[in-house]
Amino acid sequence: MRQGVMQLAGTTTKGAYLTGGHTYGRGKAAAGATEEPGEIIVAEPGSEAAPTAAWLGVREDGTAFLVAIDLQWDSFDLREALEQSLSGDFHIQHVSAGSYQAAPDVRMPGWKIEIEQADAPMPSVGPKA
């Protein structure tokens, strides 16, 4: 993943929601709104990745997401952007190192994910149209 927002799997504990060092936010999107899934974009071969910072987000239901976003953004810039596509409370916390497992469908409604070109065919994600 070069940049964007991806949904994570296996993070369903609210314990992480109570730790320190993060910024709280409240999404402005309507709860339960049917939203189109995000989009996966494959980077052009040979293109350089932009400098990014990693952030971990946890929603009030305990589900998590990983963000790779412009290095210049601070937590308040990111919170403001996330508020447009999330509903309910959430928090974000800067990540300097970590290992996370992606959800079966990594796409986050309202967001794009830019990934590296893969040598092997990419598995399909989400429901087939």
Tally of domains in the chain: 1
**Would 97 be classed as within a structural domain?**
yes
The count of other CB atoms within 10 Å of the CB of residue 48 is: 8
**Would 38 be classed as within a structural domain?**
yes
**Would 128 be classed as within a structural domain?**
no
**Would 94 be classed as within a structural domain?**
yes
Residue 61's pLDDT band (cuts 50, 70, 90):
confident
**Which of 35, 82, 85 is CA-nearest to residue 57?**
82
Q: Which tokens is 112 given?
A: 């794009």
**Would 123 be classed as within a structural domain?**
no
**Which of 4, 7, 97, 106 is CA-nearest to residue 57?**
7
The parent domain of residue 106 ranges over 3-115
**Would 127 be classed as within a structural domain?**
no
Is the full-model pTM beyond 0.85? no
- Over 70: is that where the pLDDT of 12 sits? no
Q: pLDDT tens-digit profile of 69-118?
A: 988 898 889 999 998 888 888 888 888 777 778 888 888 878 889 988 76
Model pLDDT, residue 101: 84
Model pLDDT, residue 17: 42
**Would 122 be classed as within a structural domain?**
no
